[in-house]
Structure 1
Amino acid sequence: MQQLLHPLCLTLAVAGFSLLLRPARRHRRDTALTALAGVYGFCALSFLVSLEPTWIHLGEVTNSHSIALLASFACVIAQISLQPVVLACWILPPDAARRAARTSLLAGAAVIAGLVLLFALLPTTGPTTPQTFTARHLGVGVYQAYLGLYISAYGAGQALLVVGCLRAARRTGEVWVARGLRIVGAGALLTLGYCAIRLTALLAAVRGDARIPAAVEHLAWACADGGTLMVLTGFLVPALGVHLVPGVRGWLRAQQQYRTLGPLWEVMHRSMPAIVLQPGRRPTRVNLPVWDVNWQLYRRCVEIRDGQWALAVHLEPAVREASGTRHRGHGLRDGELAAAITADQLHAALAARHGGRRPAVPAAYADSVRHPDLRTPEDDVRELLRIAAHFTAAAQPSRRH
C-alpha cells in the first residue's frame, strides 16, 4: 500500500511545488505563499526518501541503513510546522500571524532536534526497507520513544489543521478558498486515523506485543497517504478555482467564438485567399486551434476585417437601403440593425465581386458608424460575432433550395 500511494503523493506534491514556484517575486512579500511552497516541497522530499529505491540508496551512500527514516520524519515535521503558518497568515491579523508562525516553527524545530537525538541512540541494524523498519524495531525502547514523539507531533499538527481549516472556511467569503480548506480539513482528519493506529500499536508494543497485522499496516498507510492526497489537493483548489477554471472557461468561449466566425471567414477566404496572414497554418472549423486560441481568434477577426475592406468597392447603395427597410420591419434597432445590414452587404458584395460588378459610388458599411465605439479587440470580436450570426442565418435559406 505504501509503495502504491507514495508515488501518487510525490507526484502531486512536486506538481504543487512547481506551480507555487512560478510567481517567485510574490514570495518576497507573501509569507503564506512561501510557507505553502515549503509545505509542498518538504512533503515531496518526505515521499521521495520513503520510496524503497531511494531508501536503500541513501543507506548505502551514508552507511546508515535507516537514515532515510530520519530524513522522512524530519521533512514531515517541517511540513506540519509550516501548515499553521499558512493558515495564520490567511485568517489572523499580521502581528498575531507572526507570533503564531514563530511558535509553530520553533515547536517544529524542537521536535526535529528530539528526533535527531533519539535517532542517534537507535541500535545499528542491517539493511531495511520502508515496509519492514517499524515492524522490526517496534519492540525497541528507543524507537518507541522516537515513534511516540513523531506521532504525537504529527497528530497534534494535523488536529490543529482540522480546527484551523474549519474556522478559516467559515470566515472567508471566497467560495473556492472555503472549498479547498474543507478538503484540507477532511484530509487532515483522515490522517488522524494513521496516528490512532500507530499509537495503538505503540502502546501494545510497550506491553510486550510488537506484532502489526498486515491489514492494519495497510490501513495505516491508506489513512496517512489518502489524507495527505486530500490535504495537497485542498491547498491547490483555491489556485485552480481562481485561475484555472476561469482560464478554461475563457478557452472554451474563444473556441466557440472562433467556430461562430468560421462560416463568414471561409466564404471570404474562398473569394480572397490573400486575406490569410499565415497561409501555411490556417485552422478551420474542423481543425480548431488548441494553443494560442485568443491570438488565433483575433487573427481571424483581422482577416475578416481585411476581407470586408477589400469588398468595400463592391457595396451597392440599393442593397443597404433595401436591407435596412426589411430589418427595421422585423424590429431590429441600433447595433443589431447595423450588424444585419452589414451581413447582407457582405453577401451582395461577394456576389458582385464574383460577377465583376462595381457601383459608380460605393456605399458605406452599416456598421462603420459603430467603429469609434470599438476600443478593444474584445469589442471588435463581439461586433463581428453579431455580423457573422446574421451572415450565416441569411445563407441558410439558399442552402435549403
Structure 2
Amino acid sequence: MSDISDVPFDIGYLGIGTAAWAVAGLKIRAWRRDPSRGLLVVALTIAAPATAFVVAAPVVYRLIDRIANLGNLATLLVYLGITGFSACAVVLARMWTPPSERAGSQVWDAATAATWRRVRWPLAVFAVLVPVMIVLFFTGGADNPETPLTFDTTFAKIPGIAIFLVIYQALFGFALIDIGRVCLRHASRLPPGWLRRGIRLIALGGLVACGYVVCKLIAIGAAYARVSGLEWLSTALGPGFATLGSVLITSGFAGPAAAAWTRRRRDYQALRPLWDVVYRADRRLALEAPPSAWTERLAFRDLEWRTARRGLEIRDGQLTLRPWVDPAVVTAAGQVAERAGLEEGDRVALIVAAALRSAVEALNSGIPPRPREDQAPLPGLDTEPAEERAHLVRVACNLYAPLTGEALAVATATG
C-alpha cells in the first residue's frame, strides 16, 4: 500500500474530470442539435480523458476494483480512456480544415473519403495495439497489490507490464505531438479571436502533457532496471504535467464555446428593444408574450433557437410595418448618417431604426398604409443570412440613439 495521500489526487482528478465532462456534455448536446462528425469527434476527444480522470481518482479506482473483484482493473480503464483520447485527437487533427479551404465558419471538414484515407493507418495502429495492451495487462499478473497511484513503478519490473506501459505512453505521446503540431499550424492562419486562442491552448496543453510521457518513461525504465529513487517522476511530476495539460486542453475546447454562448446571449438580449417595437405593432407576429425582465436575464438555455426566432419575428415585423414607413424619414436618416460619416453597416442600421420608429408612430396615429407603389425601399432586407443577426443587433442599438432622434426631427421639420 502506498504511503502517498489519496486526498489531493481525489480532489484534483475528480475536479478536472467533472469539469471536462461538463464541456463534453455541451459538445454532445451541440452534436445532437447539429449532427456532424467533427462535433462528435470533439465530444469524444473530451469525454474519453474526462472519464479517465474520474476513474483515476483513488476513491473511484478502489470502488471499481472492489466491484470487479480484480485489483488494478481501474488502471486498464484509465489507460484505455487516455488511449481513446489519443485516437480521437489523431482523427481530429486530420479533420481540421485549413482556413483557406473553409466554407463560411466551418472549422472541420465533413470527414470525406480523403479524410479517412489520412487517418486509416494511424487508426489501424491503434486498432492493433489496444488489444495487445489488454492481453498484456491480463496476463501480466499485476492484480496485486492494489496501487492506484504507483502502478507503473510497482509493476514495471514485469516484462509484459513494462511493454504494456510503453505502448500506452508511445500512443499518448504520438497523439499529443500530433495535435500540438496541427493546432499550432492552424492557429497561425486564424484571425484574432477566441477560436485562435482556444486552438493555441489545445496546442500548449498537448505539448505540456508531453512532460507526463517523458517523466513516466524515465520512471518506468528506471523501475524495470531496478533503479530506485526516481519514483517521484511517476507519482508527482508526471501527474502534474498531465493535470496542467488537461486543464489547458479542456480550456481550449471550452473557451470558444463559452465565447459563442456569451455572444448568443448578448445578441438575444440586445434584440429585445427592437422586438418590443414590432411586437407592439402586431402581437400576432410572436409565438408568445414578451418574457419578463427576470426571465430575460436568466435565459441560459436554447439561446441559439431563441435568438433565431426573435430575429425571424423582427423580420416579419419589418415587412408588416413597411407600408407605414415615411420616405422622408428614410431620406433624412440617410443624410444624417452621411454627415456623421457612418460606415455602410451603421448607415443602413440607422436608416432602418428611424424608419421603424416612424412607421410605429404612423400606425399608432391611425395613418393609413401607403400603397405598394408609394412604399419606401428599406435597406437591409436583402442582408445575407450569415450577416443578418449582426445587422439586426445594429438596428436595435440605433433604435433610440441620438442620431436616430436627429433623423426623425429633421424629417418632421422638412415635412
Give the TM-score category using the shorter length: 0.5 to 0.7
Mapped contact 1:20–1:37 kept (Cα < 8 A): yes
Indicate which of 119, 131, 134 corresponds to 1:113.
131
Q: Per-residue CA shift, 1:294-338, capped at 9, x if unaligned?
A: 8789999999xx9xxxxx9xxxxxxx9xxx9xx99x979999799
**Letter in structure 2 aligned against 1:131:** L
Aligned to 1:147: 165
Count residues in correspondence.
362
Cα gap change, 1:202/1:298 in structure 2, threshold over 3 Å: closer, same or farther?
closer
Calculate the TM-score normalised by the size of structure 2: 0.64
- Describe the superposition over 1:26-81 as per-residue Cα deviations: whole angstroms up to 9, x where unpaired: 55xx4433333332232233223222233222212222111111121122112212
Q: Is the 8 Å Cα contact of residues 139 and 210 (structure 1) preserved in structure 2?
A: no
2:54 maps to 1:40: no
Residues 94-113 of structure 1: matches in 2 within 5 Å? 94-113=112-131
Could you tell me which residue of structure 2 aligns to residue 193 of structure 1? Answer: 211
Q: CA offset at residue 171 of structure 1?
A: 5.2
Contact 1:261/1:385 (8 A) holds in 2:
no
| Aligned position for 1:24 | 32
Measured in 1, the distance between the counterparts of 2:144 and 2:375 equals 82
Q: Give deviations 1:339-380, integer Å, cap 9, x for gaps.
A: 889989999x99xx9xxxxxxxx76799x9878749699899
1:38–1:82 Cα contact (<8 Å) kept: yes
CA contact (8 A) 1:39 1:82 kept: yes
Q: Which amino acid aligns with 2:52?
A: S
1:73 aligns with 2:79: yes
Question: Given the alignment, which residue of 223, 236, 239 partners 1:218?
Answer: 236
The one-letter code matched in structure 2 to 1:133 is: F
Kindly indicate whether residue 269 of structure 2 is the aligned counterpart of residue 255 of structure 1: yes
Q: Which residue of 2 aligns with 1:64?
A: 70
Q: What is the rounded CA distance, in whole Å, between the counterparts of 2:308 and 2:117 in structure 1?
A: 46
**2:352/2:378 contact within 8 Å kept:** no
Per-residue deviation, 1:190 = 0.6
Work out the CA distance in 2 between the residues paired with 1:338 and 1:119: 69
Superposition RMSD in Å: 5.3
Contact 1:342 1:365 in 2 (8 A): no
Find the structure with the greater CA-based Rg.
Answer: 1
Judging changes above 3 Å, is the alpha-carbon distance between structure 1 residues 164 and 297 closer, same or farther for their aligned structure 2 residues? closer
Rate the CA distance shift 1:371–1:142 in 2: closer, same or farther, 3 A: same
Contact kept, 8 Å, 1:340 with 1:390, in 2: the verdict is no
Once residues 236 and 346 of structure 1 are traced to their aligned partners in structure 2, the CA distance between those partners, rounded to angstroms, is 43
Q: List gaps (5 residues or longer) in structure 2.
A: 1-7, 99-110, 300-305, 339-346, 383-387, 407-415
Alpha-carbon distance between aligned partners in 2 of 1:341 and 1:117, rounded to the nearest angstrom: 74
Q: Percent identity?
A: 18
| CA–CA distance in structure 1, aligned partners of residues 78 and 403 of structure 2 | 65
> What are structure 1's unaligned runs of at least 5 residues?
307-311, 313-319, 354-361, 395-401
What is the TM-score with the length of structure 1 in the denominator?
0.65
Matches within 5 A, 1:156-305: 156-170=174-188, 176-212=194-230, 214=232, 217-238=235-256, 240=257, 245-256=259-270, 258=272, 283=292, 289-291=297-299
For 2:24, the aligned partner's letter is F
SS state of the match for residue 209, structure 1?
coil
Q: Which moved more, 1:217-226 or 1:2-11?
A: 2-11
Deviation at 1:191, TM superposition (A): 1.0
Pair 302,233 (structure 1): closer, same or farther in 2 beyond 3 Å: same
Asked if the contact 1:77–1:111 (Cα under 8 Å) also holds between the matched residues in 2, the reply is no
Higher-helix-fraction structure: 1
